[in-house]
Structure 1
Amino acid sequence: MRFDPWSPEFVAHPYDVYDELRRERPVSFFEPTGQWLVARHADVNALLRDRRLGRSYLHVASHREFGRPDDPEFQDPFWRVIRAGMLDVEPPVHTRLRRLVSKAFTPRMVQALRPKVARMAEELVDVFVEHGGGDLIAEVAEPLPVTVIAEMLGVPEADRHLLRPWSADICGMYELQPSIEAQRTAVRAAEEFSAYLVELARARRADPGDDLISALALVTDEGDTLTEEELVGTCVLLLNAGHEATVNVTGNGWWSLFRNPAELDRLRADHTLLPTAVEELMRWDTPLQMFERWVLEDVSVGGIDIPRGTEVALLFGSANRDPEVFADPGRLDVGRADNPHISFGAGIHFCLGAPLARVELVESFGALLRKAPKMELVNEPTWGPGYVIRGLESLQIRV
């Protein structure tokens, strides 16, 4: 098999190909997307921190100056929302946005949410057990992070059913060479979510509540505040980044445990292993397989010169299986203590929501282990079509 992100077989199991890339072609050009694939942990980690690369190039050059076509006009509403958040911008704009958002989205806020997250996880699992099981992804993995982010943002309960479809549709734009239909769907979702958030943010500015949208609407730093577009872009990012990955860690993680029954038995016998188990599940079957960066100045990676104006594809799934960093990397070890995985990224774009994701995952896995200790798989699941954001279609469980 070769690197083929559109192949269902490769998406289901990319790790043998990654092993070959790390050994033989740790930096290689992938003609179909015009990207340089980077497979080793040391290189991926270094490039995530290297300011000669950026998530965007628009702060230093136009599309034309970078040899790229202009964005299609129909995508304008999408990029207006996405580029108002901090993920797709670089310093000094990124620095300013992250500083302001960090003043509202604090570690104290995350820790204060823990009892509420634990209660939500238990309620979802109680219903799941009462029904004798079902689709773990649709009934537990998806509702938990959506409900948490909705509670945190202050989205009224009656509107929360809108969030998951918006998130999934927007994230479709991040796959490699998305179809025109997927692009238009992402644009429509961004427009609808943006319009909804503008209305909600204006209401919160006028009548603040105890929620993150109110905090973002009112946050200041030496007189600086978020614009309305920046607030909307931040909320969209928090939903997408804080939701898609958490859902897939849960689904991928349980499928990983069912494929490694000795480790599942070990975790069932000792719930104190939950924090290390969550980190290991993120490493062993990474939900975000690839993260792309633009080369803003010529760089050399692994002896290969990569010129300004090209794009690198950092293979997180490969980096997290690198034997130079992880002992016996193909083995799932729920007690793995030394685990410098890069599933949350690194450098200035390190995931701001990582502490919240860890809380959600520990509480979700913990509730299932306690309340459904004999949970078993009904049938082998199938993988969704996405490679960049990689997860299962469903996970049918019997309790």
Structure 2
Amino acid sequence: MEATAVFDPWSPEFVADPYPGFARLREAGPVHWFEPSRQWLVPRHADVRALLRDRRLGRTYLHRFSHEEFGRTPPPPEHEPFHVLNGHGLLDLEPPDHTRIRRLVSTAFTPRTVEELAPTVRRLARERVDALLAEGGGDLMATVAEPLPVAVIGEMLGIPAADRGLLRPWSADICRMYELNPDEESARRAVRASVEFSDYLRGLIAHRRTHPGDDLISALIAAHDEGNRLTGQEMVSTCVLLLNAGHEATVKTVGNGWWALFRDPGQLAALRADHTLLPGAVEELMRYDTPLQLFERWVLDDIEIGGTRIPRGSEVALLFGSANHDPAAFAAPDRLDLTRADNPHVSLGAGIHYCLGAPLARLELAAVFGELLRRAPRMRLLAEPEREGGFVMRGVRGLLVEC
């Protein structure tokens, strides 16, 4: 089967509901060549989980090969600000740099730190729900889902409240480059955002070096281990990654999650009747309509998937959304089940690149869903939402509700 017959990440119809196409990919085989992006698509849960942990694959190849040695064309020089910023972040590094930086960042990003943030997260969730209730409803995305995680990460990093309005536009423009085959306009906007965001953070970091505070940037400046410290670029890239990864997926999970609940009145009623279901509901909503649909890895040494040889220099696209709907891993995977006991979803990744901010994401999601369940128990949807244009980071454009 030609993958292009069922996989079209640029089609609004496919983006609206990719899961039937994923089912056909899984049934047809464990791996499929997709010529438009020149990637191998991997749709099955067992393969995705295994490859996330397979050290023969990497998020980058530059720790072992030059572009030319790997058979790849270097990115255009005008895109360099984006690639410098992206290439020094945890998500796109491999050992030994990944190991060193993650260890340093982890000293300032512990479960205890996240737990200490809980009162702040709950306060910010209350404030955003207050704003929604004061108007009797409105756009749940613009009023609650989008500003909450930006405010949380802004408080964590110590970014002044007056500057936080800059963060989401920068993040949105940078994240456009994570879509498949981004166009030149997306690249131009991502480069501009990378320059502006980096310049802003360098100024803030310089200020914190002489005026440290009780914030994550100050903690990152102080973090050291066996004489190692974060370089200036590593600090900037880490802060950008914490913002981008720390809020884009959370925003999309809130939107996708409420849209799923509104479409399943029985499950929504059960959750409203029993708030103790919330922790499991958060996991199920992350699985059911996955915010990050695709995660790319480079093949550093030849591998084999289901009898198909994938040579070094290839790129694989791990289809998280498909893996999360694989009947080999989940009973009745296309059914929303907030009481699902066995839920090995891959929405937060696995292996060395497992989401560092997973505890914070769960805290934020529980806070925002919990506040809305408690204080807007009759909230209803007024209009079916539109999907955003992107497939890799897939969400809804707005969610108009009445409280």
TM-score of Structure 1 vs Structure 2, range by shorter chain = over 0.9
Q: Give the structure 2 partner of residue 326 of structure 1.
A: 330
Matched, 1:77 2:81: yes
- CA deviation profile, 1:232-276 (whole Å, cap 9, x unmatched): 000000000001000000000000001111000000000010000
Out of 9, 14, 18, the position equivalent to 1:10 is 14
- CA deviation profile, 1:265-293 (whole Å, cap 9, x unmatched): 00000001000000000000000000000
In 2, Cα distance between equivalents of 1:237 and 1:64: 28
Matched, 1:152 2:156: yes
Q: TM-score, normalised by structure 2?
A: 0.98
Matched, 1:46 2:81: no
* Partner SS state of residue 370, structure 2: helix
Q: Give the structure 1 partner of residue 190 of structure 2.
A: 186
Q: Give the structure 1 partner of residue 378 of structure 2.
A: 374
Matched, 1:134 2:118: no
Q: Give the structure 1 partner of residue 178 of structure 2.
A: 174
Q: What is the identity percentage for the equivalent residue pairs of Structure 1 and Structure 2?
A: 65
Pairing of 1:337-356 with structure 2 (within 5 A): 337-356=341-360
In 1, Cα distance between equivalents of 2:214 and 2:104: 17
- The structure 1 segments of at least 4 consecutive aligned residues displaced by more than 3 Å after TM superposition are none
- CA deviation profile, 1:89-143 (whole Å, cap 9, x unmatched): 1000100010000011111110000111011101110110110111101110000
In 2, Cα distance between equivalents of 1:70 and 1:381: 39
Q: Give the structure 2 partner of residue 269 of structure 1.
A: 273
Matched, 1:20 2:24: yes
In 2, Cα distance between equivalents of 1:218 and 1:239: 20
Q: Which runs of 5+ in 1 are unaligned?
A: none
* Partner SS state of residue 239, structure 1: helix
In 2, Cα distance between equivalents of 1:160 and 1:237: 15
In 1, Cα distance between equivalents of 2:326 and 2:335: 12
Question: How far did residue 207 of structure 1 move?
Answer: 1.2
Q: Which runs of 5+ in 2 are unaligned?
A: none
In 2, Cα distance between equivalents of 1:273 and 1:61: 48
Pairing of 1:116-265 with structure 2 (within 5 A): 116-265=120-269
Out of 304, 309, 312, the position equivalent to 1:305 is 309
CA contact (8 A) 2:42 2:318 kept: yes
- CA deviation profile, 1:122-172 (whole Å, cap 9, x unmatched): 111011011011110111000000000000000001100000001101000
* Partner SS state of residue 261, structure 2: helix
* Partner SS state of residue 225, structure 2: coil
CA contact (8 A) 2:325 2:334 kept: yes
Q: Give the structure 2 partner of residue 88 of structure 1.
A: 92
Q: Give the structure 2 partner of residue 362 of structure 1.
A: 366
